Structure 1
Amino acid sequence: MIRLITLGLGGEGYLNFMGNEFGHPEWIDFPRGAQHLPNGKIVPGNNNSFDKCRRRFDLGDANYLRYHGLQEFDQAMQHLEETYCFMTSEHQYISRKDEGDRVIVFERGNLVFVFNFHWSKSYSDYRVGCLKPGKYKIVLDSDEKLFGGFNRIDHTAEYFTTDGWFDDRPHSFLLYAPCRTVVSMLSLRDPQRLILILIYIWC
């Protein structure tokens, strides 16, 4: 969730190094021997150890570790950006920052992101404000089994907006927001999707 909110709100770039990636040790320390200073003092080395200067990318291939789910989610969220190009969109709007519910909702590009950071509360029929009317679908769900989640969200469910202002947005829809999850929703009125459909029909 921290990775996706960084990708979603962190600007036009995402640094997948020195913190966002998994598999590196607590700190980076390249092999070095003791250093003798001109004043006679000695700066101790690390016995030329490689222990803190390597990556454990193999951890992502171990299905029994949580690193596997993290690796899959990292790929999925980068694929989300490649597909919908939301990081370079001029449309950005944070509609909800609810300290009590621990929920953050924002729009970026043609997507609506719903984060539930609460450690134990899941919300049924949680109302989410949005700009575009019509039907929405889930395009990314952190609770999928592939990512180490519990599959609590039904991806076959259809989400339709109702008119009326909510969180300073002209429309809204209801969804289930399990604790410690994020979902990304796409409006099916998305012009990018219509272009892809027209290309498919033309071909």
Structure 2
Amino acid sequence: MIFKASSLLKIIKLITFTTSGGAYLNFMGNEFAHPKRVEFPMSSNEYSFHLACRQWELLDKGVHKHIFNFDKDIMSLDENERVTSRGSLNVHHCDDTNMVISFTRGPFLFVFNFNPEVPYQLYRVGVDEAGEYQLILNTDETKYGGRGELKSSQYMKKTSDRRADGCRNSLELALASRSAQVYKLVRILRI
């Protein structure tokens, strides 16, 4: 249950972050930082902070550590690549049946598999620009509490000239269930 909730939380955070206009709010809230009850200082507890303290040591283990690592990497991704300032996004794939959404923003391709049970070995999504796309963020990595199902040979993908989603080119990607991936166009191919 924790794995499923953590997986969903990561893809919701990523889709919120990448579709926003650069605004993103992240905080260590009561739902994670207080495994016990929360009681803020007030007259009934003599203004005690005893139950109002965040438990920062939770970030050193388990699901809290994995989500914290993911949050840090999202922030680093935007700091290094300026994802949220790369123009408007272009949603070109929204498959309700398979529960997959894909869009581009500048040289980045974002693919979200919201299906809780079905992984896809060769899922085709369209891209306008022909070239090589490198995986730069994957919510299914073990450091984020995922299963790590992607193999190293799947980190670089080359487009085919097969049309998909109204785009001239496409990629065939492996998508773990309830996961998201960010690819960056690293080499443009002119045909």
Q: Shorter-chain TM-score category?
A: 0.7 to 0.9
Q: Distance in 1 between matches of 2:152 and 2:101?
A: 21
Q: 1:78-97 maps to which residues of 2 (within 5 A)?
A: 78-97=75-94
The 1:48/1:19 distance shift into structure 2, 3 A limit, reads: closer
The 1:59/1:12 distance shift into structure 2, 3 A limit, reads: same
Q: Partner of 1:171 in structure 2?
A: 169
Number of residue pairs the alignment of both structures matches: 177
The 1:46/1:152 distance shift into structure 2, 3 A limit, reads: same
Q: Which moved more, 1:169-178 or 1:154-163?
A: 154-163
The 1:25/1:109 distance shift into structure 2, 3 A limit, reads: farther
The 1:26/1:165 distance shift into structure 2, 3 A limit, reads: farther
Determine if the alignment matches structure 1 residue 75 to structure 2 residue 75.
no
Q: Distance in 1 between matches of 2:73 and 2:31?
A: 14
Check conservation: 1:3, 1:20, Cα contact below 8 A: no
Tell me how far 1:50 sits from its aligned partner. 3.0
Deviations along 1:82-116, whole A, 9 cap, x unmatched? 12111011141111222211111111222111111
The 1:73/1:32 distance shift into structure 2, 3 A limit, reads: same
Deviations along 1:9-36, whole A, 9 cap, x unmatched? 1221211137599425799753111xxx
Tell me how far 1:76 sits from its aligned partner. 1.1
Check conservation: 2:59, 2:65, Cα contact below 8 A: yes
Determine if the alignment matches structure 1 residue 16 to structure 2 residue 16.
no
Q: Partner of 1:50 in structure 2?
A: 49
* Structure 2 stretches lacking a partner, 5+ long: 1-10
Q: Distance in 1 between matches of 2:101 and 2:146?
A: 20
- Which amino acid in the other structure matches residue 159 of structure 1? K
Q: Which moved more, 1:172-181 or 1:76-85?
A: 76-85
Tell me how far 1:168 sits from its aligned partner. 2.2
Q: Distance in 2 between matches of 1:104 and 1:153?
A: 19
Match of 1:124 among 77, 102, 121: 121
Give me the identity figure in percent. Answer: 33
Higher relative contact order (CA 8 A, sep 6+): 2
Deviations along 1:54-89, whole A, 9 cap, x unmatched? 322221112xx2111111111111111112111011
- Which amino acid in the other structure matches residue 24 of structure 2? Y
Q: Distance in 2 between matches of 1:111 and 1:86?
A: 8
* Structure 1 stretches lacking a partner, 5+ long: 34-44, 191-203
- Which amino acid in the other structure matches residue 9 of structure 1? T
Match of 1:3 among 5, 8, 13: 13
Match of 1:159 among 152, 157, 182: 157
Q: Partner of 2:187 in structure 1?
A: 189
Q: Distance in 2 between matches of 1:7 and 1:51?
A: 34
Q: Distance in 1 between matches of 2:30 and 2:102?
A: 22
Check conservation: 1:134, 1:188, Cα contact below 8 A: yes
Q: Distance in 2 between matches of 1:110 and 1:174?
A: 17
Give the secondary structure class of the aligned counterpart of 1:156: helix
Check conservation: 1:25, 1:55, Cα contact below 8 A: no
